[in-house]
Chains A and B, each alone.
Chain A
Amino acid sequence: MENVLELLTGTLTQGFLYALLAYGVFITYKILDFPDLTVDGSFPLGAAVTAVLLTRGADPYLTLLFAVAVGAAAGLATGLIHVRLGVRDLLAGIITMTALFSLNLQIAGSNLTVERAVETIFTAAPTMALFGGMKLLYRKLIVSFLLALVLKLALDLYFKTKSGLLLRAVGDNETLVTTLAKDKGSVKIIGLVLANALVALCGSVVCQEQRSFSATMGTGQIVFGLAAVIIGTTVFRKMSFVKGTTAVVAGSVLYKACIQLAILAGLPANLLKLITAVLFLVILTLGNLQKTGGKQHA
């Protein structure tokens, strides 16, 4: 039983940690209707900055702010390339992502490991004062849950502000925004900045949890983000009281749970991805079965 509990803890931790990235993708893909590939670059960017700062003895909580700042800058770059230089949305993301690959390596030097002696947000004094009595495994769960929860509530509040509503308006009906005498370009840029700040924050937290940065850690993160958002929103489609952000957390956890199940399945190791794919399909199909009518696409 302890065995199952630990597996569950590990899976939930991963789900909550990566929910931060999924929030970012939720903002660009679901709200802004902007397929933002910057994610594959801004995620390791947050990790690279964090790894460098941690190994130089920086305060682990402070690194979170640095990660947010550089992530925001990455989002700003994509936004400016798209809005001001008129590059198509997909390509704008690709350009930033490609540039970031080199930039991340430049920042970190090479793949970096953060030694066990170095404190992270999971082991630093303030965290220990609150949850020091717990095993590291459960401490990681609590910290990641709190991060996901606080950011979820903050985002929910933001979406109700004028700026948040404009963000949704741009995704739904660009013309409306223009008739409101608002610049839809700036709104898009704000969305991209916010989204990539979250993604880089996720990179920072994952780096602290993993105690490492690797140049390849960003590869495929956009795929994860999209899958988490779509799985989450599909499963809770009929439950209109569930907020989008909550659905995203659930999607992230479900995604990580699918991988965990595939790992546990005990089938030949090369089938891992196939099993994961089948599990996704099952979840999405079950989600779609709930509906009684109306258009949809997963």
Chain B
Amino acid sequence: MKKLLSVLLIAAMILTLGACAPGNEPAESGPASGAELSSETESEGPSGPYLIGVCQYGEHASLDNCREGFLQGLVDSGLLTAEDFTIDYQNAGFDDAVTTQIAQSFSAENAALMCAIATPAATACYAAAEDKDIPVIFTAITDPVKAKLDSGNVTGTSDKLPVDAQLDLIRALQPDADVIGIVYTASEPNSVSAIAEYEEKAGDYGFTIESIGVTAQSEVTQAVDTLISKGVDCFSNLTDNNVVGVLAAMLEKTNEAGIPVYGSEVEQVKKGCVAAAGIDYYQLGIQTGIMAAKILTGAATCETLPYETISEYGIYVNSAALAEMSLTVPDEIAQRAVESSEA
């Protein structure tokens, strides 16, 4: 009896909480929950406003660019905001358990498509999408094959780094350099696979790699100090969240030591890295958005649309940072380089 009562009490509590939920929603979708429901039934059909759930793993300039690019990609494909699609954007604040709940709410809302930004968001969305077989489009994943997101009702874009181009760029800017220092997070699969590729290819360009794996953001600057003391000729960054997160502190140390730092995408160059052969996450987002539009309109399915890597990498330079390190960019590179600085 007592137990029954407590169970009932809990159930009642949850129900009240749950009942509050739709009341909060109509802010975007309409005045009454009736309207909301009708719009959902429509979204299942071939036309009408598609509900797209966007789950971003955390707050991060590159991931933000992905999201903005994704929306632009949808518009570029001829879909008009509000008329053709509505976006439910959620940010998990780097909390894996929250990504699960976000993904589940997308499924409950009968989203026509889920867009997952970064690997943990993608695995959560893919798990939650299983029940209704909702297509999942991911972006900012380095190795979709390793993450086992290369088959099934899931596709997207990979942000695999153009390692060859980066090594080539470093060789062009620093003809005498021998050792490249890299700090990376040992638990980020993206970084681990990038390091492996760096180590494999460095020899072809006459470099050796001196790398330190860290487990937390707080250890990054210590690792940078260690590499500086080991006498590396330059640093090359990956798209490693922990390292990029403390880039400013890293640059403070390397500038003092007079060691140039190469970035892996445009945002890092804007923040003070000398140069990068890397990806523009905004472009990657656009590419993702175009894929999503194809799937939404039925022009393609995840099965017929294999995951894509960035079609073209860019070369980004920061003249002020280059000048500070007294580096000069050879003409043939300067011609296609894009000046990227915040000022």
Contact = CB atoms under 8 A, between A and B. Distances in A.
Interface in A87-134: 101-102, 105, 110-111, 113-116
A110 B213 CA distance: 13
Interface residues of A, number: 57
Given A10-B104, A10-B107, A264 B97 contact: no
Given A7-B108, A8-B14, A116 B96 contact: no
Given A7-B104, A7-B108, A260 B21 contact: yes
Give the secondary structure class of B's interface. Answer: helix
A210 B127 contact: yes
B195 to A, nearest CB: 12
Given A14-B101, A210-B127, A246 B187 contact: no
A209 B128 CA distance: 9
Interface residues of B, number: 61
A254 B94 CA distance: 21
B306 to A, nearest CB: 17
Interface stretch (B75-83, B147-155, B326-334): B147-155
A254 B9 CA distance: 12
Given A209-B127, A256-B101, A3 B109 contact: yes
Contact of A253 (B10, B119, B120, B147): B10
A236 B22 contact: no
Contacts of B10: 249-250, 253
A116 B28 contact: no
Interface stretch (A157-165, A169-177, A187-195, A267-275): A267-275
A210 B124 contact: yes
Contacts of A259: 98, 101
Interface in B1-58: 2-3, 5-6, 10, 13-15, 17-22, 24-25, 27-28, 36-37, 40, 56
Interface stretch (A56-64, A65-73, A212-220): A212-220
Contacts of A264: 21-22, 24-25, 105
Interface in B83-108: 89-98, 100-102, 104-105, 107-108
A257 B14 contact: yes
Nearest to A279: B17
Contact of A111 (B15, B56, B119, B130): B119
Give the secondary structure class of A's interface. Answer: helix
Contacts of B119: 111, 214
A292 B97 CA distance: 36
B21 A7 contact: yes
A101 B107 CA distance: 32
Given A210-B124, A211-B123, A263-B98, 16 more contacts: A6-B108, A7-B18, A7-B108, A18-B97, A111-B187, A113-B123, A113-B148, A115-B152, A224-B97, A241-B2, A250-B10, A260-B21, A263-B101, A263-B102, A266-B27, A269-B89
Q: What 7 A-B pairs are tightest by C-beta distance, nearest first?
A: A269-B91, A215-B187, A10-B104, A6-B108, A113-B148, A212-B123, A110-B189
18 contacts: A10-B104, A11-B104, A14-B104, A111-B123, A115-B148, A135-B131, A211-B126, A211-B130, A212-B123, A214-B96, A215-B187, A260-B17, A260-B105, A263-B90, A264-B24, A266-B24, A266-B25, A272-B90
Interface of B: 2-3, 5-6, 10, 13-15, 17-22, 24-25, 27-28, 36-37, 40, 56, 59, 89-98, 100-102, 104-105, 107-110, 119-120, 123-124, 126-128, 130-131, 146-149, 152, 186-187, 189, 192, 215
